[in-house]
Structure 1
Amino acid sequence: MKNQGLLITAVEPNSIAAELGLKPGDRLLSINRQPVRDIIDYRFLIAAEELVAGVLTGAGEAWELEIEKDYEEDLGLDFGEHAFGPTRTCHNRCMFCFVDQMAPNMRPTLYIRDDDYRLSFWQGNFISLTNVKDEELQRIIHQKMGPLYISVHTTNPELRRRMLNNRHAGKIMDQLRQLAAGGIEMHTQAVLCPGVNDGQEMERTITDLAGLWPQVHSLAVVPVGITKFREGLHTIRTFTKEEAAGVVATVENYRQKFLARWDYPFVYASDEFFLLAEKPIPPAEYYADFPQTENGVGLVRLFWDEWELAEQDLPRQMLKPRTVTMVTGVSAAKILQQVADRLNQIKGLKVKLVVVPNKFFGETVTVTGLLTGQDIIDALTGKDIGDFLILPSVVLRDEEDVFLDDLTLADIEHRLKVPVRAVTGPQQMVETILAD
């Protein structure tokens, strides 16, 4: 039993658990005779007002604790970073997998391919469902683990088996129907590869998934990302401008049908398709309730709307002259150039925009979030940066000052001999530039 249940790492003072004498090092095995496999089991089972908790203490004693509490009252237990146990990894070998295109010798976490339905529910990770058994589908339904975020790519069974290189991948529609019948909300994506799952196959995918509305609540169509590290992998190319425009037009045709039917658009082309096609970014109404911003759907529109608000408060003149440099990737260059042009209308302010090509992953990768510290250094070395450098925070690991290549903001400052500021969104960018 020593490896079963959840290991308690902390107990909140004055909580129910503290009153019962539970301590770090004890292990919670069950609640109401049901095994506690992970934090989701725990959250689901403690919703009852009367509990019987099975505990194995750090000293090896088996306890059975009877608890009465309010419906929403927590026990005061913390299970630390291992509250899910081992993360379920991906068993697919997708022809377009970005992890397979990573550069060698990077930090180990960049090579992890998670495919865990629990993390899809808990933090919005996309999953394929290829490693989910029927009893786990029933658990999802029973514990109401929604919404889920599911990588469908295609609803053609044979094509999906081929694209994911997994013989279990073809039953996706049966799985989605089962989840939909159980009332689980789902958001889906299709990573499009030219000549593979676009065109008529994309239309089939849109139609099939729309047939499960409203449980399948949205579908994001995004272009495949290709790096220069594809030796030995399936031959795939990027979309041309004309092909991207065709995807945008097809999606728009379906959106209009769904709007007329449900007053909800359902399917969205990602921002990258609009940028590739050199089409205007749609207004906020296009994105309804913005269900897939983490998938690059509507982020540019949110940026523009925030910029328009920030622009209203721009001064006519700086209190003291200032020169700053901003960095962007290739795909967002035209957007940021308009922002820089407007800022340069402020007397005493000079804003330079530097577009950084992605030499690390290859110049087919154009999104800003995949720029590395070294590419930024290479692009700016020898340039007059001015008073400080502004970087978008998307180039850094969440809540850390570390780039994909493990360089830090401090490294950039040291190499370029200039202060560096990482900003999130237009408002913070403007505040940083105008700060006294």
Structure 2
Amino acid sequence: MTATCIHEYPGKPARPAARILAVEEGSPADDAGFTPGCVITAVDGNPLRDILDWQWYSDGDEISLSYIDTEGDSGEVELYREEGESWGITFDGALFDGIRTCRNACVFCFMRQLPKEVRDSLVLRDDDWRLSFLQGNFVTLTNLSDEDAELIIERQISPLRVSLHAVTPEVRQKMIGKHAPHGIEMMERLLAGGIELHAQIVLVPGMNDGAELARTLAWAYLREGIRNVGIVPLGFTKHQTRFEKSFDAPEDALAVIEAVEPFQKHAQAERGYPWVYLADEFYCNAYPEGVLAHVPPTEHYGDFSMFEDGIGIVRTQMDEWAACVEAQHRLASTLTEENALVYYVLGEAQRGVTDALLKDSPLDGLLVPLFVKNEHFGGNVDVTGLLCGSDVARAIRGVSAHDFVVVPRIMFNSDGVTLDDMTVDDIRDTAGMPVCVVSCSAAEYLAEIEELVAG
């Protein structure tokens, strides 16, 4: 096997194939001569469709790898390892046969509501059960094949995160499309096979709320394999004409809270945890004044497993802020000594919580939240993570050059780019104002801001 390293393997080897990104020095793969750029096509004759196949077939201490090296030559090699030793291979991605895309027509699909000029990756509608297990994506299971279901059950690949939304056939079909019944069938099949599910409901006014929400929760509660349910409100942009409201009005949000509470109390008494959880927006919208008093306590959220779905973020912020009193005083002292203000850019959804946290703190009037309206997406999009660079640049143009502006890291992807393809340098240039990126965690951003101001 050659040791030549190239960035792309030559030719078009038959898919699926797994490209090696890195090889651990001194590992069995290194000893066998594998290098970045080599492609593994099979383990013991079994093609690799994804990292799950690799983990399953390479579980022993002796394997035969079929490969294509960096010069296009193919072959097979035997690898051996000691008990507990890694093979030493890191692959370039988790899916080797491509992402399985969505075949549904969900009325609430956020990616169908984006501006036409967005980059392609933002409108890629994946519905891949493997990403549900590996990355926590929610999937409908409407494209799950019999072979997929058998494999999941055989290997006990669990838990999975599934989009439930509704259980009445007519409602499901109206919300998801003609393949909706298949998703329910597959949920039942996986549950019968011992697979645990975390379910999500995107709540749409007049469609799956009210009596339908009660039916859906009752159906899910009877299936013990559904470990919990998260409910998130409909999000809509200005780039569509179907929706004009969600649960933004206090009375609408409060109605959902009150409808869910009986299920939570019953589950708490019977199972020891609330089982069904509401996204933070419901509490923030229901109690625009005094929201901190109505957010559930820390123990309500358990291990915060639904944090990425916007469930428990506010409680985490409250707890972190309470634990950082000393850091608040240090930053307040530094800002006073430097006669400076710091503007912290946030989405409008953070207004009630952030204002309340700052009100009785030493940073009141020194750390100034700058709530930015999301004009790029419009609609009811108001969370910090969906802020766009163009809106931020416009909002900070009037800030004094003597003061500091910080933006949360959550606005940027792993490449340092916002949803409208702006870097922090682009924001600086457009606004004509220095901008620094900081964490969203109070313990971190208070220290980062203090270092920025003092430095």
TM-score normalised by L of structure 1: 0.91
1:234-267 per-position Cα deviation (integer Å, ceiling 9, x unaligned): 4463123212101111212111100111112110
Q: Deviation per CA, 1:71-122, whole angstroms, max 9, x where unpaired?
A: 5432222331474331111111110110011012122211111111111111
Q: Secondary structure at the match of 2:341?
A: strand
Q: Can you list the C-alpha shifts for 1:119-142, whole angstroms capped at 9, x where unaligned?
A: 111111111111111110111222
CA contact (8 A) 1:141 1:183 kept: yes
What is aligned with 2:104? 92
How far residue 57 of structure 1 moved from its aligned partner, in angstroms, is 4.6
Instruction: Check conservation: 1:368, 1:395, Cα contact below 8 A.
Output: yes
Alpha-carbon offset, residue 31 of structure 1:
2.2
Instruction: Say if 2:320 and 2:442, in contact at 8 Å, map to a contact too.
Output: yes
How many pairs does the alignment contain? 429
Distance, in Å, in 1 between the alignment partners of 2:327 and 2:82 is 49
Q: Distance in 2 between matches of 1:39 and 1:402?
A: 28
Q: Distance in 2 between matches of 1:28 and 1:257?
A: 51
Question: 1:241-252 maps to which residues of 2 (within 5 A)?
Answer: 241-252=250-261
C-alpha contact (below 8 Å) 1:324/1:389 kept by paired residues: yes
- Aligned with residue 327 of structure 1, among 345, 362, 374: 345
Q: Distance in 2 between matches of 1:328 and 1:345?
A: 16
Partner residue of 1:134 out of 146, 150, 153: 146
> In the alignment, what sits opposite 1:229?
239
Secondary structure, in 3 states, of the residue corresponding to 2:105? Answer: coil
Tell me, yes or no, if the aligned pair for 1:387 and 1:418 is still in contact at 8 Å: no
| Residues 22-61 of structure 1: pairs in structure 2 closer than 5 A | 22-57=34-69
Identity fraction in percent: 34
Residues in 2 aligned to 1:368 and 1:116: alpha-carbon distance in whole angstroms: 27
- Say if 2:99 and 2:126, in contact at 8 Å, map to a contact too: yes
Report if the CA contact (8 A) 1:9-1:80 is conserved: yes
Asked if structure 1 preserves the Cα contact closer than 8 Å seen for 2:389 and 2:418, the reply is yes
TM-score, normalised with respect to structure 2 = 0.87
Which runs of 5 or more residues in structure 1 are unaligned? none
Match of 2:442 in 1: 426
SS of the residue corresponding to residue 74 of structure 1 reads: coil
Q: Which AA in structure 1 matches 2:239?
A: F
Q: Please provide the CA RMSD for this pair.
A: 2.3
* Contact map agreement 1:224 1:238 (CA 8 A) in 2: yes
Query: Alignment partner of 1:322: what SS?
Result: coil
Is residue 401 from structure 1 mapped to residue 409 from structure 2 by the alignment? no
The residue number in structure 2 matching 1:298 is 312
Shift of 1:186: 1.8
1:151 equivalent in structure 2: 163
After TM superposition, give the deviation of residue 19 of structure 1 in Å: 2.2
CA deviation profile, 1:307-352 (whole Å, cap 9, x unmatched)? 1101244327334322111222222101111233345557xx7232
Alignment-derived partner of residue 415 in structure 1: 430
Contact 2:328-2:363 within 8 A present in 1 as well: no
* Aligned with residue 376 of structure 2, among 330, 336, 360: 360
Distance 1:59 1:423 in 2: 44
Q: Alpha-carbon deviations, 1:382-431, whole Å to 9, x = none? A: 2336421122222222x343221112211222233433222221112221
Name the CA distance, whole Å, in 1 between partners of 2:250 and 2:24: 56
Instruction: Provide the C-alpha distance between the structure 1 equivalents of 2:110 and 2:401, rounded to a whole number of angstroms.
Output: 33
CA 1:204/1:420 → structure 2, altered by over 3 Å: closer, same or farther? Answer: same
Asked if the contact 1:155/1:172 (under 8 Å) is kept, the reply is no
In structure 1, C-alpha distance between the alignment counterparts of 2:154 and 2:43, rounded to whole Å: 16
CA distance in 1, matches of 2:399, 2:76: 69
Which secondary structure does the structure 1 equivalent of 2:86 belong to? coil
What is the SS of the residue equivalent to 1:130?
coil
Q: 1:54 to 1:276 in 2, by over 3 A?
A: same
Give the drift of 1:283: 1.0
> In the alignment, is residue 271 of structure 1 matched against residue 252 of structure 2?
no
Say yes or no: does 1:337 pair with 2:349: no
Cα-to-partner distance string for 1:17-63 (whole Å, 9 max, x where unaligned)? 22223345543232233322222101121112232333345566654
